[in-house]
């Protein structure tokens, strides 16, 4: 029969077992991510300490539930009527066979459009060949029409893509282009840096071709029931509503995939 000293010696030789204890989750409104801390506890810990840990488990689980729900929400497919609206009688702005059209109704003077532009630009660059992205300037009247004309004139003259983001910067960052009562000459001065002569820009700006494009843009916005800018429409059929810009583009990805996969069902 082992002596008391031998029993103590064997106890000391037993390996300690690690217990993983979940940390309290970071609240959702905090900037930092939730972290997990590994705590090593001996199996010889006092019974009271173990009971204290067990008593905290319901609270820990309750705190983790919002994180689980948030992760599930990100993976859930968008819901019609909540994440996007089916446009009654909607039609693409400029349909092209074999392409899924994505349009952004924007305004150069809109600060939200200016903030969205770099995010949107990066997203557009990653789209597959079957997606055609088309910016459509909002023609709501007044200075909206002036900048819509400027965009269409730049597009006809072949400098719209190169100058698009720069126009946002000129208005909202550098403030070198006025927004109220802006004259064609002032807009021409901006496009002169892209090699467009002033007179040529003004003639294009006032042309019947731009008149027709302005009318088509206005009709598209009305038909699509645009509530404001920026607005993303997929294939003229779906108006996206979202809580933030990444969410808007996530929903766009979903609708693009659906339109591309089942064009014959429409």
Least trusted range by pLDDT, from 26-40, 43-57, 88-102, 202-216: 26-40
- Average of pLDDT values for 60-79? 60
SS3 (DSSP) at 80? strand
Half-sphere exposure of 161 (CA within 13 A, CB side): 6
pLDDT in tens, 207-229: 999 999 999 999 999 999 999 99
Least trusted range by pLDDT, from 14-18, 113-117, 206-210: 14-18
Pick the more confident residue, 173 or 17: 173
Per CATH, the number for 84-261 is 3.40.30.10
- Average of pLDDT values for 88-117? 97
Position 73 pLDDT exceeds 60: no
Per-residue buried b or exposed e for 167-188, using 16+ beta carbons within 10 Å of the residue's own CB? bbebbbeeeebeeeebebeebb
- CA dihedral over 100, 101, 104, 105, signed as positive or negative: negative
Q: Cα angle at 42 between 37 and 45, to 5 degrees?
A: 105
> Tokens 């003077």 appear where?
109
Report whether the peptide linkage leading into residue 140 is cis, meaning its omega lies within 30 degrees of zero: no
> What are the phi and psi torsion angles at 79 (to 5°)?
-115, 130
pLDDT of 56 reads 58
pLDDT of 10 reads 47
Rounded to an integer, what distance in angstroms lies between the CA atom of residue 58 and that of residue 43?
Answer: 22
Instruction: Please give the mean pLDDT across all residues of the chain.
Output: 81
In the chain, domain spans:
4-22+32-75, 84-261
Position 39 pLDDT exceeds 60: no
Rounded to an integer, what distance in angstroms lies between the CA atom of residue 145 and that of residue 188?
Answer: 15
- Average of pLDDT values for 240-246? 91
pLDDT in tens, 48-57: 544 454 455 5
Rounded to an integer, what distance in angstroms lies between the CA atom of residue 205 and that of residue 245?
Answer: 31
Position 110 pLDDT exceeds 60: yes
Rounded to an integer, what distance in angstroms lies between the CA atom of residue 58 and that of residue 85?
Answer: 40
């Amino acid at each position: 029969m082992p002596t008391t000293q031998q029993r103590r010696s064997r106890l000391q030789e037993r390996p300690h077992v690690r217990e993983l204890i979940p940390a309290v989750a970071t609240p959702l409104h905090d900037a930092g991510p939730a972290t997990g801390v590994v705590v090593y506890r001996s199996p010889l810990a006092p019974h009271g300490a173990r009971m204290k840990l067990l008593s905290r488990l319901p609270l820990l689980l309750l705190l983790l539930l919002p994180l689980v729900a948030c992760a599930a929400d990100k993976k859930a497919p968008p819901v019609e009527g909540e994440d996007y609206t089916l446009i009654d009688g909607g039609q693409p702005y400029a349909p092209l066979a074999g392409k899924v059209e994505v349009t952004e109704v924007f305004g150069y003077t809109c600060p939200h459009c200016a903030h969205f532009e770099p995010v949107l630009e990066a997203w557009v660059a990653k789209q597959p060949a079957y997606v055609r992205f088309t910016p459509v300037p909002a023609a709501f009247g007044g200075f909206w029409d002036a900048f819509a004309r400027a965009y269409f004139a730049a597009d006809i003259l072949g400098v719209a893509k190169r100058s698009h983001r720069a126009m946002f910067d000129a208005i909202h960052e550098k403030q070198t282009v006025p927004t109220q009562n802006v004259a064609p000459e002032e807009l021409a001065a901006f496009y002169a840096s892209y090699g467009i002569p002033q007179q040529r820009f003004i003639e294009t700006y006032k042309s019947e071709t731009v008149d027709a494009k302005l009318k088509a843009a206005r009709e598209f916005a009305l038909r699509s029931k645009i509530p404001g800018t920026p607005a993303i429409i997929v294939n003229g059929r779906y108006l996206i509503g979202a809580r933030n810009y990444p969410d808007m583009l996530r929903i766009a990805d979903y609708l693009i995939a659906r339109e591309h996969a089942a064009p014959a069902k429409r």
